[in-house]
Chain A
Amino acid sequence: MKVSLVFSVAAVLCAGMTAYGDEEAVGSVRSVEGEVVIVRGEDEIAAEKGTRIFAQDVLRTQSESAVGIVLRDDTTISLGPKSELEMKEFDFQPDKGVFASIVSMVKGTFVYVSGRIAEIAPDAVKVETPDGVIAVRGTRFMVKVSG
């Protein structure tokens, strides 16, 4: 009896880890035009439809290129040509009340549509730009960051 209890607690813990560990994707690529790379540490990955995105990834579009992504809380972000976006922080655990969504728009053009985190915990959603921060109460806005 004791063994099975320990076992099931361990199972729940493991499940929690797979569900919420650092390894989990924060979103994915929905559509790509032209040349788009995801910079992950030392690696550069060519973005395709379905490519998973992780916290700390940087998305970069070349000229005549564009990309649209969807995050796990249903936020959508799209980038026009010669644009760069850094996924700084993302945490979406509704059952624990843990929320964070911080991206940095480094340069280029963007369309942003906020998702569930902005509805549940608006203070947790921030869009950084080189000149200031956008606090997002919802929902759809566009940003041009001149280089």
Chain B
Amino acid sequence: MIVLMPDHDGEVGTILVEGSDGTVTASGSHDTVMLRSGKPEARGSMEDMEVRAVFADAMRVEPTPPRVFLLHHALEAVAPSEAYLPVIEEIIAEIDDRKSLDISINGHTDSSGDPEFNMQLSERRANYIKELLVSRGVRAASIATDFHGEGDPLFPIGSDAPVEMNRRVEVIVR
């Protein structure tokens, strides 16, 4: 049995239930599909109380969606711009709140300059934030850093967004 439910923002997505004997699409809140012996069957929408009864235990431990923070940088700067100092405090508060042991720090650059320099710059940006968090008491073992140089722009080259938006460190607190 498969039940499509609203996500944490209240939005309802779409799933396709594929058996050997056909496909059923669910796209409405509480849409229910039974799947037996390879045959999917739409069963209309399930009562909310029933959903909560069947899935109570799994729902109780459902993780809070990860929170993503963005820190932006001046051209070629390793430290984020001063305007983002309050964001650092928010990150630390979020880590404390969740008692998070799983934090990702991803460094990025814009596409100006040499790609290899950018790769190293993105690594230094990520490590700078890691060291900052560790100096504030976050366990280093809980932090995974990664860096992408100019390879994973937030806004593709040629889009209307200003290029400095791609100079960033993403911090994901899980």
User: Is chain B a partner of chain A in the same complex?
Assistant: yes
- A interface residues, Cβ below 8 angstroms from B: 8, 12, 15, 19, 25, 28, 30-33, 49-50, 66-70, 72, 74, 76, 78-81, 83, 94-96, 109-111, 113-114, 129, 131-144, 146
From A69, A110, A135, give the contact of B16 (CB < 8 A).
Answer: A135
Q: Nearest residue in A to B150 (C-beta to C-beta)?
A: A95
A69 to B62, CA, bound (A): 8
From A19, A69, A81, A132, give the contact of B35 (CB < 8 A).
Answer: A132
A141 touches B15 (CB 8 A): yes
A-B contacts, 28 of them at CB < 8 A, read A12-B119, A19-B146, A19-B147, A28-B101, A28-B102, A31-B61, A31-B63, A50-B142, A74-B66, A78-B59, A80-B58, A95-B151, A95-B152, A111-B55, A113-B7, A132-B20, A134-B18, A135-B17, A136-B13, A136-B15, A140-B4, A140-B7, A140-B13, A141-B2, A141-B4, A142-B55, A143-B3, A146-B1
Q: Is the interface of B mostly helix, strand, loop or mixed?
A: mixed
A133 to chain B, nearest CB (A): 5
Q: Which residues of A contact B66 (CB under 8 A)?
A: 70, 74, 76
A122 to chain B, nearest CB (A): 9
B51 touches A142 (CB 8 A): yes
Interface of chain B residues 30 through 89 with chain A (CB within 8 A): 35-38, 40, 51, 54-63, 65-66, 68
Q: Which residues of A contact B92 (CB under 8 A)?
A: none
B2 touches A142 (CB 8 A): yes
In the complex, B156 has a CB within 8 A of chain A? no
Q: Which residues of B contact A144 (CB under 8 A)?
A: 1, 54-55
Apart from A81-B57, A141-B13, 10 more pairs, CB < 8 Å: A30-B174, A70-B63, A78-B62, A95-B152, A111-B62, A133-B17, A135-B16, A137-B14, A140-B8, A142-B3
B38 touches A139 (CB 8 A): no
Q: Nearest residue in A to B3 (C-beta to C-beta)?
A: A142
In the complex, B104 has a CB within 8 A of chain A? yes
B38 touches A109 (CB 8 A): no
A95 touches B61 (CB 8 A): no
From B4, B60, B147, B172, give the contact of A66 (CB < 8 A).
Answer: B60
